A and B are shown apart, each in its own frame.
Chain A
Amino acid sequence: MELNKITVLREGINSTFQDLGRSNFYHIGLPFSGAMDKRNYLIANKLVGNKYNEAVIEFAYQGPLIKIEDGNINFAISGDIKFNIKKNGKLITGDCYKNYNLSKNDEVDIISTNNSVYGYFAVSGGFDLKKNFGSFSTHVRSNVGANNGNKIQKGEKFFIKDFNDKHANKNLKYMNSKIEYIRILKGTNFDYFFEQSIKEFTSKEFLVTKLSDRMGMRLEGPKIKNLKETNIRSEGLIKGVIQVPADGNPIIMLSDHGTIGGYPKIGVVISADYDRLVQIPPSKKIKFKLIELKEAEKLYKLYQMETENLLSQI
C-alpha cells in the first residue's frame, strides 16, 4: 500500500491540530479548545470531503511550508490566506476555498493571512493522529491532544489516513465578512463598573494588542473603572467572557482560556460573533454593542443557517 506522508519544512506560527473541540472537561481544568473560527474549519473539511470533526492544521499569521514526502494528497485551505503551490517544479498562486491534488515532492507554502489571524489546512481522508480526551484538539498549555499536545514543529512528518481525489474540483465562492462591531450581552458583574465606563465600553474603540493568542484577546482603550471590587471569588469562565482586571484593560477569553478566573465580567461576546471576533488581528480596533439575550439567540440561528447554506454549496 502506498503511504501518503507530508513533512513540515517550516512550522509557521502557532500551528496546531484542531477539531470541533473537547466537551465535559472544564471541571478538571481543560478548556474547550478546538478550531478558533469554526465556520472556516467546517468549510475546509467539507471541501476535501471529510467528516465535520476531522482534525485540520490551524495556523496564525503564517502557516507551515509542507512537502509531500510520499504518495498523494488532496487539500484545501480556508480563511483569507496567501499561499503558493509548487507542483512538478512549477510555482502556482493558490486560491482559498478550492481543493488541489499534490504528489511526491510537491510543496504548499502558506505565506500569510491577509488582515486576519487564523487559517485552516485540511487534507482529504484526514491526518493519522491519536485523540486525547475525546478530541484531536491540541491544548499546548496542558500538553493535551494530538501530536502529544505540542505545536507542529519543523521536521515533523505526518501520515494521511486514506487519500482519495473524488472531491477534486470542489470549491466555494466565499468572502470572509468583516464585522463593524462585536455584539455582547451584559456580564454577571456589569454593575461593578461606573456608568461612564460602561458608556465608553459600549461606544468607544478598543485596540487589539499583540498580547493576544488562543487563550485570550487583550484590549486597550478607555480604562474601565471599577466601583465595587477589582477581584471576585474565583469562578468558572467560558469563551467570549470579557474580564476587566484592576488595570481597567478588558481581556476577552478565547478557546484555550483558563477554566477559572477571578476578575469581574463586564460582558460576554455573543456566539454568532465569535468566529469573526477571533479573526481580528492585533493593531486593529473593535467596538462593542450591547444587545439582549433573545436577539443574540436569533442572530446565532441566522449565523448557523448561513454556515449551513455555505456548506451545502460545496
Chain B
Amino acid sequence: MIKNISNLGDAALYCDFGNDIDQKTNIKVIKYFENINKKNIDGITNLTPSYNKLIISFDLNVVNFTELKKKIEDIEISESYIRQDQKIIKIPTCCDDEFALDIERLSLKLNLTKKEILENYLNKEYFCYMTGFIAGMPFLGDIDKKIRLERLETPRVKVPKGAVGITEQFTNIYTFESPGGWNILGSTPIKIFDQKNEKQPILINPGDRVLFYEINKKEYFKINGIK
C-alpha cells in the first residue's frame, strides 16, 4: 500500500502513499501508523503520519535505512483495524467579531454574508487527517466548497490560542499562540492539548470526527473561566 519508501536524511524513512488528499488515502496512512506503533519495532523513535505520507524516524545507533526499510516493506498490516471511539467530538466555538478576526476578509473574498459563511461551516462533521505542527493541533476537513479560501498573504506573527481557522478544504484549532496564516473565524475556550494528562494529552486524534457549534460570548467566558 506504500507506493515508495525513500530516505529523509540518514535517520528517517519517507513513506509515500501517493499525492491524493482524501480520507481513503489518509486512513491507509493512519492504519500503518497504528500498526507500526503497536509493534514496538527496535530503533524507531518517532512516527509522523500526515495526509498521504508517513515519516518513520529511527536511532542510527540501532538500525539503518536499508534494514528498517525491509522491515516496513514486509510488515503485516492488520485489516481488522477499527477505531474504537467513533463518537463525534463537539467543539464549542464563539464567532463573535472579537474572535472572528478574518470574517470580513472571508465575506469580501467569498462574496457571502457572515451569516452564510457560518451556516456553511458550523454543525458539520469534519474528519481529522492529522495532528501536529504545534502540540495537539488538528488538521480537519473537508469544509464546504463555497467557503474555501487560500491563506493570508502575510501570515500573522501571533495567532491567539484557541483560534479556529480555515484554509483551502481544511479547518484547524490553534492549540497554542503561534505564528500562522489561516483565516480565523472564531475561538474555542476548551483545552485541546493538556500537558498534565500524559495518558490522553490531545482531545482530537487522527481518524476522529469533529463538529463545531456556536456559543455566545457569555458562554465562552464561562467555560474559559473554569478551564
Q: Which residues of A contact B (CB under 8 A)?
A: 23-30, 32, 132-133, 141-144, 149, 185, 187-188, 233-238, 240-241, 258-261, 265, 268-271, 293, 296-297, 300, 304
Contact of A26 with B10 at beta-carbon distance under 8 Å, contacts A233-B52, A236-B55, A300-B60 already known:
no
Q: Does B135 count as interface, using CB distance less than 8 angstroms?
A: yes
Tell whether, in the assembled complex, residue B198 and residue A132 are in contact, meaning their CB atoms are under 8 Å apart.
Answer: yes
Contact partners of B135 in chain A: CB under 8 A: 28-30, 141-142, 144
**Which residue of chain A has the shortest Cβ distance to B53 in the bound complex?**
A235
Of A28, A187, A234, A270, which one neighbours B10 at CB under 8 angstroms? A270
The listed residue with most B CB atoms (<10 A of its CB), out of A141, A238, A241, A270, is A238
Tell whether, in the assembled complex, residue A234 and residue B46 are in contact, meaning their CB atoms are under 8 Å apart.
Answer: no
Contact partners of B19 in chain A: CB under 8 A: 233
Of B47, B131, B134, B198, which one neighbours A142 at CB under 8 angstroms? B134
Tell whether, in the assembled complex, residue A236 and residue B53 are in contact, meaning their CB atoms are under 8 Å apart.
Answer: yes
Tell whether, in the assembled complex, residue A271 and residue B10 are in contact, meaning their CB atoms are under 8 Å apart.
Answer: yes
Of the listed stretches B1-9, B75-83, B99-107, B119-127, name the one at the interface; the rest are far from the partner chain: B1-9
Q: Which residues of B contact A (CB under 8 A)?
A: 6-12, 14, 19, 21, 33, 45-55, 57, 60-61, 64-65, 130-137, 139, 175-176, 178, 193, 195, 198, 201-202, 206
Interface of A is mostly: mixed
Tell whether, in the assembled complex, residue A143 and residue B49 are in contact, meaning their CB atoms are under 8 Å apart.
Answer: no
Q: A236-B48, A241-B9, A271-B11 are in contact. List 17 more A-B contacts (CB 8 A).
A: A24-B45, A26-B46, A26-B48, A28-B201, A28-B202, A32-B46, A142-B135, A143-B195, A187-B8, A234-B130, A236-B49, A236-B132, A260-B133, A260-B139, A268-B10, A270-B9, A300-B10
Tell whether, in the assembled complex, residue B10 and residue A293 are in contact, meaning their CB atoms are under 8 Å apart.
Answer: yes
User: A28 to B203, alpha carbons, bound, how many Å?
Assistant: 10
Of A24, A149, A260, A265, which one neighbours B8 at CB under 8 angstroms? A265
User: A296 to B132, alpha carbons, bound, how many Å?
Assistant: 29
**Which residue of chain A has the shortest Cβ distance to B56 in the bound complex?**
A236
Contact partners of A132 in chain B: CB under 8 A: 195, 198
Of B53, B57, B195, which one neighbours A144 at CB under 8 angstroms? B195
